[in-house]
């Protein structure tokens, strides 16, 4: 599925379309941009034709020094049937040779008032966000003390009810039931709610409730970095659960590994408080304070002292 087309850039960055309107539906498949300086000099061996081509003051100044025949040749080679568009920055004049070549190949030629470096940075950030790998996970995403906690577990285990309790305690809901996650760069996962179910929670017995309407705008947020995964599972008597917290379990989402905690569910356990404390404890660990390691270290000291006393 095509995520970005040339017309999206025109709308997003308020670009002036000069020529090649027939090509505005061309797909953009990479967030990399090309500043074709070496191509202006005539070297097209490694020309990345599938990228957005950005012409700044440097490229245009060099172009002006070429002969009429060279100008036509460079622009003919610059405009291909897969080039999604050519953008000229700083509202510079568009050469006639470019307009002629662009019309023949239906390549959109656009103009921006922004400086080249600033435009390049903004285009790259936008395209990286739009073209990032994405996945959808069944769960609930809540912002707890600034930590993005993804609550997962089998259907009916109490994910949404726990999220409701967390919202009542002052935390913020990002998404319920389906969390769309995109990997913006290595190790950075951002979760959002599908537009259809934004700000909504489904509570069995109550139905669908609007968290923003009930609790106010401060109870929701539109996106959050996923930092911690809490897996809720029904208590299994035969299973050994982690009682110290020394072993860090991981869950792989797209290409990123996220810390995962498994919390057993049974009557009498206050899940919202447990998850709240898990988020605070995770923050402490990141700051270098690890209660489990401190306890383990103390225990080792006590055992060693005991051994010395026996001697």
DSSP secondary structure letter of residue 282 = H
71 is in an annotated binding site: no
Rounded CA separation 45/173 (Å): 51
89 is in an annotated binding site: no
The dihedral over CA atoms of 9, 14, 20, 22, expressed in degrees to the nearest 10, equals 60
245 is in an annotated binding site: no
Catalytic residue among 26, 51, 74, 159: 159
At 310 the three-state DSSP class reads helix
- Asked if residue 285 lies in contact with residue 245, where contact means CB atoms within 8 angstroms, the answer is no
- 44, two tokens: 């097209």
Q: Is 177 a residue of the active site?
A: yes
DSSP string, 64-105: HTS-HHHHHHHHHHH--TT---EEE-TTPPPPHHHHHHHHHH
The helix (H) or strand (E) run that includes residue 210 is: strand 207-210
- 61, two tokens: 């100044």
159 is in an annotated binding site: yes
61 is in an annotated binding site: no
Catalytic residue among 138, 204, 269, 286: 138
250 is in an annotated binding site: no
Rounded CA separation 297/243 (Å): 16
202 is in an annotated binding site: yes
160 is in an annotated binding site: yes
Burial class (CB in 10 A: 0-12, 13-18, 19+), 144: buried
113 is in an annotated binding site: no
Catalytic residue among 143, 177, 221, 224: 177
Q: Is 138 a residue of the active site?
A: yes
Largest CA distance in the chain: 97
- Asked if residue 141 lies in contact with residue 149, where contact means CB atoms within 8 angstroms, the answer is yes
Binding residues for ATP, as ranges, are: 153-160
Binding residues for Mg(2+), as ranges, are: 160, 202
Binding residues, as ranges, are: 153-160, 202
Task: State the catalytic residues.
Answer: 138, 159, 177, 243
């Amino acid at each position: 599925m095509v995520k970005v087309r040339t017309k999206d850039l025109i709308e997003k960055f308020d670009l002036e379309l000069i020529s090649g309107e027939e090509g505005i539906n061309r797909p953009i498949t990479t967030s990399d941009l090309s500043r074709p300086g070496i191509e202006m000099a005539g070297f097209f061996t490694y020309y990345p034709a599938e990228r957005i081509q950005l012409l700044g003051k440097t490229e245009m100044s060099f172009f002006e020094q070429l002969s009429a025949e060279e100008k036509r040749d460079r622009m003919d080679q610059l405009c291909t049937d897969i080039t999604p568009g050519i953008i000229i920055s700083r509202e510079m004049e568009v050469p006639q040779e470019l307009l002629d070549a662009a019309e023949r190949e239906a390549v959109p030629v656009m103009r921006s008032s922004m400086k080249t470096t600033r435009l390049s940075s903004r285009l790259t950030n936008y395209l990286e966000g739009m073209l990032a790998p994405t996945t959808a996970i069944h769960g609930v995403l809540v912002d707890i003390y600034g930590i993005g906690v993804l609550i997962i577990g089998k259907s009916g285990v109490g994910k949404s009810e726990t999220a409701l309790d967390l919202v009542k305690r002052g935390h913020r809901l990002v998404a319920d039931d389906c969390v769309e996650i995109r990997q913006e760069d290595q190790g950075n996962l951002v979760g959002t709610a599908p537009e259809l179910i934004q700000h909504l929670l489904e509570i069995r017995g109550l139905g669908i409730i609007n968290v923003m309407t009930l609790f106010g705008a401060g109870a929701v947020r539109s996106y959050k970095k996923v930092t911690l995964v809490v897996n809720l599972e029904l208590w299994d008597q035969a299973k050994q659960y982690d009682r110290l917290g020394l072993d860090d379990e991981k869950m792989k989402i797209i290409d990123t590994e996220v810390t995962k905690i498994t919390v057993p569910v049974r009557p009498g356990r206050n899940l919202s408080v447990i998850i709240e404390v898990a988020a605070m404890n995770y923050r402490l660990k990141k700051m270098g304070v690890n209660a489990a390691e401190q306890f383990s270290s103390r225990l080792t000291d006590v055992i060693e002292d005991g051994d010395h006393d026996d001697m």
